[in-house]
Chains A and B, each alone.
Chain A
Amino acid sequence: MKVRTDWWRRAVAPLAAALLLAACQATPTATPTAPPAGTPEPGQTPAASPQAGGEVEIFSWWTAGGEADGLEAMFEVFAQKHPEFQIVNAAVAGGAGTNARAVLATRLAQGDPPESWQGHAGQELSTYIVAGQLEPLNSLFDEQGWHDVMPATLIEQISTDGNIWSVPVNIHRANVMWYVPANLEQWGVQVPQTWAEFLTAAETLEAAGVTPLALGEQWTVMHLLETVLLGELGADAYASLWDGSGDWNSAEVTAALETFDQVLDYTNADASTLAWEQAAQLVIDGQAAFNVMGDWAEGYFVSPAGPNLSPEDGSFGWAPAPGSSGVFQWLSDSFILPAGEINREGALAWLTVAGSKEGQDAFNPVKGSIPARTDPDRSLYDAYLQSAMDDWASDELAGSLTHGVVANDAWKAAIDTALGLFLADRNVGTFQTALAAACVATGPCS
Chain B
Amino acid sequence: MTLAAALRRHWVPVAMLSPSIVLIGIFVYGFIGWSLRVSMSEWQGLMPDYTWAGLSNFAELLNDRRFHIDIRNTLVFTTFFIGGCVGLGLLLAVLLDRHVPGEGIFRSIFLFPLAISLIVTGVAWRWLMNPSTGERTTGLNLLLDTFGLNALMNAWHTSDPPIGIAFVALPAVWQMTGFTMALFLAGLRAIPEELKEAARVDGASELQVYRRIILPLLRPALLSALIILGHLSLKVFDLIVALSGKDIRLDVPAIYMWTTTFDANNFSRGAAIGIYMLVSVAILVVPYLVWSLRRETEL
A residues with CB within 8 A of B:
95, 98, 101-102, 105, 108-109, 127-128, 130-133, 217-218, 268-270, 272-273, 287, 409-410, 412-414, 416-417, 420-421, 423-424, 442
Does A272 lie within 8 Å of B66, measured CB to CB? no
B121 at the interface (CB under 8 A from A): no
Known: A127-B45, A421-B248, A424-B248. A101 touches B161 (CB 8 A): no
B51 at the interface (CB under 8 A from A): no
Does A102 lie within 8 Å of B258, measured CB to CB? yes
Does A131 lie within 8 Å of B46, measured CB to CB? yes
Of the A-B pairs whose beta carbons lie under 8 Å apart in the complex, a sample of 23, sorted by A's number, is A102-B261, A105-B265, A127-B46, A130-B47, A131-B46, A217-B247, A268-B132, A269-B131, A269-B155, A270-B136, A270-B155, A272-B244, A273-B126, A273-B158, A273-B244, A413-B260, A416-B263, A417-B66, A420-B247, A420-B249, A423-B248, A423-B249, A442-B264
- Of all A-B residue pairs in the complex, the 7 with the closest CB atoms, nearest first, are A420-B248, A413-B264, A131-B46, A102-B262, A270-B132, A131-B47, A410-B264
Does A131 lie within 8 Å of B45, measured CB to CB? yes
* Distance to closest chain B CB from A76 (angstroms): 32
B residues with CB within 8 A of A:
44-47, 65-66, 69, 126, 130-133, 135-136, 155, 158, 161, 241, 244-249, 251, 258-266
* Distance to closest chain B CB from A262 (angstroms): 20
Does B248 lie within 8 Å of A417, measured CB to CB? yes
Known: A108-B46, A131-B45, A132-B47. A273 touches B131 (CB 8 A): yes
Does B130 lie within 8 Å of A273, measured CB to CB? yes
Give the docked Cα–Cα distance between A218 and B241 (Å).
13
* Distance to closest chain B CB from A272 (angstroms): 5
Does B264 lie within 8 Å of A101, measured CB to CB? no
Which residue from A101, A133, A287, A420 sits with its C-beta under 8 Å from B136? Answer: A287
Give the docked Cα–Cα distance between A162 and B132 (Å).
51
* Distance to closest chain A CB from B51 (angstroms): 15
Residues of the A chain whose Cβ atoms lie less than 8 Å from the Cβ of B47: 130-132
Does A218 lie within 8 Å of B247, measured CB to CB? yes
Known: A269-B131, A273-B132. A130 touches B45 (CB 8 A): yes
Residues of the B chain whose Cβ atoms lie less than 8 Å from the Cβ of A414: 264
Q: Which of B44, B69, B161, B246 has the most CB of A within 10 A?
A: B246
Give the docked Cα–Cα distance between A409 and B263 (Å).
6
Give the docked Cα–Cα distance between A408 and B158 (Å).
30
Does B248 lie within 8 Å of A218, measured CB to CB? yes
Known: A127-B265, A273-B158. A133 touches B46 (CB 8 A): yes
Known: A410-B266, A413-B264. A424 touches B249 (CB 8 A): yes
Chain A residue with Cβ nearest B119: A94
Give the docked Cα–Cα distance between A412 and B133 (Å).
32
Chain A residue with Cβ nearest B247: A272
Give the docked Cα–Cα distance between A108 and B248 (Å).
29
Does B131 lie within 8 Å of A270, measured CB to CB? yes
Residues of the B chain whose Cβ atoms lie less than 8 Å from the Cβ of A108: 46
Residues of the B chain whose Cβ atoms lie less than 8 Å from the Cβ of A272: 158, 244-245, 247
* Distance to closest chain B CB from A425 (angstroms): 9
Give the docked Cα–Cα distance between A273 and B245 (Å).
8
Give the docked Cα–Cα distance between A306 and B135 (Å).
20
Give the docked Cα–Cα distance between A131 and B46 (Å).
6
* Distance to closest chain B CB from A143 (angstroms): 29
Does A269 lie within 8 Å of B65, measured CB to CB? no
Give the docked Cα–Cα distance between A108 and B37 (Å).
20
Chain B residue with Cβ nearest A274: B132
Does A98 lie within 8 Å of B263, measured CB to CB? yes
Residues of the B chain whose Cβ atoms lie less than 8 Å from the Cβ of A410: 44, 264-266
Does B245 lie within 8 Å of A218, measured CB to CB? yes
